[in-house]
Amino acid sequence: MAKSKLNVAMIGYKFMGKAHSNAYRQVARMMHPAAEPVMKLLVGRTPDALQAAATEYGWEKIETDYHKAVRRKEINIVDVTTTNDVHKEVVLAALKAGKHVFCEKPLAMNLKDALKMAETAEAAGVKHMVNFNYRFCPAVALAKQLIDEGRIGRIFHWRGSYLQDWIIDPSFPLVWRLDKNVAGSGSHGDLNAHTIDLALWLVGDISEVNATMETFVKQRPKQAQTTGGLTAAAGEGMGEVTVDDAVISLVRFDNGAIGTFEASRFAAGHKNGLSFEINGDKGSLRFDFERMNELEYFNREDPAHAQGFRTILATESIHPYLQAWWPPGHVIGYEHGFTHSIYSFIEHIVNDTPASPDFWAGAKVNAVLDAMVKSSDTRKWIGVPVIAPAVPV
CA quadruple 98, 104, 106, 110: dihedral positive or negative?
A: negative
Phi, psi of 215 (to 5 degrees): -115, 110
CB of 206 to ligand SOE, least distance (A): 20
CB of 337 to ligand SOE, least distance (A): 8
CA distances to 84, 335, 380 from 8, in Å:
20, 19, 45
- Separation between Cα atoms, residue 355 and residue 357, nearest integer Å: 6
Residues in the chain: 393
CB of 222 to ligand SOE, least distance (A): 20
- Separation between Cα atoms, residue 114 and residue 326, nearest integer Å: 38
Summarize as ranges the residues that interact with ligand SOE (CB under 6 A): 15, 164, 190-191, 230, 272
Helix boundaries (H) for 97-164: 111-124, 138-148
Indicate the residue among 227 and 299 with the shorter CB distance to ligand SOE: 227
Indicate the residue among 126 and 232 with the shorter CB distance to ligand SOE: 232
Indicate the residue among 16 and 95 with the shorter CB distance to ligand SOE: 16
CA quadruple 223, 228, 231, 233: dihedral positive or negative?
A: negative
Indicate the residue among 81 and 356 with the shorter CB distance to ligand SOE: 81
Indicate the residue among 164 and 344 with the shorter CB distance to ligand SOE: 164
CB of 94 to ligand SOE, least distance (A): 21
Position closest to ligand SOE via CB:
190
Packing angle of the helix pair 87-96, 111-124 (nearest 10 deg):
10
CB of 15 to ligand SOE, least distance (A): 6
Cβ neighbours, 10 Å, residue 283 = 19
CB of 196 to ligand SOE, least distance (A): 12
For residues 369 and 192, is the Cβ–Cβ distance under 8 A?
Answer: yes
Q: Is 231 exposed, middle or buried (0-12, 13-18, 19+ CB in 10 A)?
A: exposed
CB of 194 to ligand SOE, least distance (A): 6
Indicate the residue among 94 and 191 with the shorter CB distance to ligand SOE: 191
DSSP 2: P
Indicate the residue among 15 and 216 with the shorter CB distance to ligand SOE: 15
